[in-house]
A = this chain, B = another copy of it.
């Protein structure tokens, strides 16, 4: 008799942890992802800001799972899920992949709140390709400014607007400030990279609003000390090529980056169950969907209601814990046992502001400034070691990050076809 098959859609934090939790189970596991690599998302902004190389924060999914003999990894673009027939459909081959249990960890993409035309002018940051495209845009802006003789155009080229004051926006703005204030300072002749304007625009009352005070206020001051202009209470009303409208103001900006909103993967809709406004799948307390104990939805794609009526944030910790839980739940479902409810353990949230400041909320303790940054560094090095060679992490990554090495400041691909 064939062993039961667990199919996992997505090789992010949720999918990977689900696969690992099935290591000793008597099942065949198939991980489907449209990319061949797992990305360590918390450091993706550093690739965009030319502080780390893609290889520093990403690794092939099959390499990460290479020792787990019951796992197969397939490069495949899943188009829909047929829960009635228990198959997953794949785009670029006439394949249907049947499953006995399914874990959907397909994640989210950018949302422009109905203004999809903004995408071309203000790229977002979700994938390695996004990060490389942003890196090329940023570096190209400095290059074009260097050979520009018109001061107005030069000023526009050296204006960077980051839309969205959540962790990604804050980290991206801080990193852009540092690259212009430190990394590039000696490389140019006609321009002074320190004069670059970095503007962080947030519609809400403050940056990092999900963190308790005094952390948001601290983050704002730290950003301002780095040279970032922080505009809060400033909803973006329109984005055109090279121009952002913020209320009545118009900023001429050569580079506009989007860190303001996400929308769930469209795969959620093919499950035929209720979704929230952002397209997330409203899951039961055991992470399954109504009527299907063999189907779990986890991570950013899932909307999980906590006992107090709140929802869980779209962070790596939640996805990882849900991945492990969904793996156990899938085994229970295969054995026709009841599935246990999921409970989230909050260990903490962190965000960095530049190279030696951060904020951390650990529930029982709040950290800010340099101690928080050291904690952040330690936690992230330890986590990276989880999927990378230890020696490689401790040398390459530390060298890349501590020094402002120029090896990552490469413009590759067609970066100059933007406005």
Contacts and interface: CB of A to CB of B under 8 A. Distances in A.
A132 interface: yes
Contacts of A411: 35-37, 75
B76 A410 contact: no
Q: How large is the interface on A (under 10, 10 to 19, 20 to 34, 35 or more residues)?
A: 35 or more
Interface stretch (A57-65, A294-302, A310-318): A57-65
B55 A410 contact: yes
A416 interface: yes
A189 interface: yes
Nearest to A149: B95
Contacts of A93: 147
Copies in the complex: 2
Contacts of A54: 53, 410, 412
A406 interface: yes
B412 A60 contact: no
A93 B146 CA distance: 13
A187 interface: yes
Interface string A382-419: 00000011011001100100010111111111001000
A236 to B, nearest CB: 29
A257 to B, nearest CB: 19
A109 to B, nearest CB: 17
14 contacts: A37-B409, A54-B410, A55-B405, A56-B407, A62-B187, A63-B187, A75-B144, A76-B147, A92-B416, A128-B412, A129-B412, A388-B407, A389-B403, A392-B407
Given A55-B405, A396-B399, A413-B413, 17 more contacts: A36-B139, A37-B409, A37-B410, A55-B55, A55-B408, A59-B407, A60-B406, A62-B188, A63-B187, A67-B186, A69-B189, A72-B146, A72-B190, A75-B147, A93-B147, A395-B395, A395-B396
